[in-house]
């Protein structure tokens, strides 16, 4: 019994760490793709939408790889994927909103005003907070689903 709980701890912490790292690395690659593909002249709404949603989609992919269970039923895998996607997209947009406000306040503090009178590109703080909060929210929901299944079915071998 002790060996099974040791294995539970190793797989749970291992999946959490790998999920966060994969989500952060792949999300940053998604940001770099859109920042190079679409120049800042494309406007705030289109660029913001594509950057944040692309990062959330890639965070979903990276987190899903870490939390994928080959031996689980297909319904369980679908529920896990949906929870991960919800966490990535909602966390990404909440993080972007929080970071964007911090970035604008930082620009105004530095310059005394917003250069050009408006912001046409997402702020660096907005992107950073979007990526971090999306990765953490996706992994938190995946971890919650994992732990719920362990306690629901009382099976410490369900890794």
Q: Which among 99, 84, 70 is positioned nearest to 11, based on CA atoms?
A: 70
On whether residue 68 sits in a domain, the answer given is yes
On whether residue 140 sits in a domain, the answer given is yes
From the centroid of its chain, how far is CA 65? 13
pTM beyond cutoff 0.85: no
**Residue 14 corresponds to which tokens in the numbers above?**
């291992």
Q: How many angstroms separate the CA atoms of 22 and 36, rounded?
A: 21
CB under 8 Å to 97, separation ≥6 — which residues?
126
On whether residue 159 sits in a domain, the answer given is no
pLDDT in tens, 111-136: 776 666 666 666 778 888 889 999 99
Q: Which among 96, 116, 106 is positioned nearest to 47, based on CA atoms?
A: 96
On whether residue 35 sits in a domain, the answer given is yes
On whether residue 111 sits in a domain, the answer given is yes
Q: How many residues does the chain have?
A: 159
On whether residue 158 sits in a domain, the answer given is no
Helix (H, G, I), strand (E, B) or coil at 130: helix
Domains contained in the chain, number? 1
pLDDT in tens, 76-123: 889 999 999 999 999 999 998 888 777 777 777 777 766 666 666 667
102 lies in which domain range?
2-153
On whether residue 73 sits in a domain, the answer given is yes
């Amino acid at each position: 019994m002790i060996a099974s709980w040791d294995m539970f701890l190793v797989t749970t912490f291992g999946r959490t760490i790998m999920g966060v790292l994969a989500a952060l690395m792949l999300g940053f690659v998604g940001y770099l793709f859109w920042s190079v593909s679409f120049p800042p002249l494309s406007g705030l709404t289109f660029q913001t939408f594509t950057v944040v949603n692309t990062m959330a989609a890639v965070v979903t992919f990276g987190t899903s790889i870490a939390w994928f269970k080959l031996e689980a039923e297909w319904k369980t895998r679908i529920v896990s994927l949906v929870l991960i996607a919800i966490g990535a997209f909602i966390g990404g947009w909440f993080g972007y909103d929080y970071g964007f406000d911090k970035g604008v306040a930082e620009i105004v503090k530095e310059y005394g005003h917003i250069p050009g009178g408006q912001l046409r590109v997402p702020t660096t703080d907005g992107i950073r907070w979007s990526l971090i909060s999306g990765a953490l929210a996706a992994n938190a929901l995946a971890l919650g689903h994992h732990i719920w299944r362990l306690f629901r079915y009382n099976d410490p071998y369900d890794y």
